[in-house]
Amino acid sequence: MKACPLCGKGELVVVNNIILEIEGYVFVASGERCLTCQEEFLFENETNRIIEAARKLGVWPEPLKLYRQLSKSGKGLVLRVPQDIEKQLKLREGMEVAITRLGKKIVVDIAS
């Protein structure tokens, strides 16, 4: 019995019906599903297969890396979000975001 790495309580069982939706395309993959929390874990070869297919369809973009200079504002720093990202994520002034430090990276998540 293999325990779920997420909840730690459930047993993982092999399934062949994990559904992924990427930009309107539906992919069916094999992997493992936790019987307790229902979290799904794709097998690595399935993940690579789906990424390759999504790239061929043009719906799996390469990671975007932009370089910006920080500006000073009061006692803090300001990072400007490019307009194309602002539109894609439907960002607007006053929205709440969560900022996390991950090693030497800064991760910005849109708060729900």
91-100 per-position pLDDT tens digit? 999 999 999 9
**C-alpha to C-alpha distance for 7 and 3, rounded to whole angstroms:** 8
Structure-block tokens of residue 21: 């939706």
Q: Which residues of the chain have pLDDT under 50?
A: none
Is 23 found in the same domain as 50? Answer: yes
53 and 22 in one domain?
A: yes
pLDDT of the residue at 19: 96
Provide the token pair at 23: 């930009």
Domain span at 79: 71-110
What's the whole-model pTM score? 0.54
Q: Are residues 53 and 88 in the same domain?
A: no
* 2 within domain boundaries: no
Domain count within the chain: 2
In this structure, the answer to whether residues 16 and 53 fall within a common structural domain is yes
4 located within any domain: no
Is residue 89 one of the residues assigned to a domain? yes
82 occurs within a structural domain:
yes
Indicate if 76 and 100 belong to the same structural domain.
yes
Q: What is the pLDDT of residue 71?
A: 93
Q: Is residue 105 part of a domain?
A: yes
Is the distance from CB of 12 to CB of 3 less than 8 angstroms? Answer: yes
Are 47 and 76 in a shared domain? Answer: no
Residue in the block written with tokens 């370089």: 67
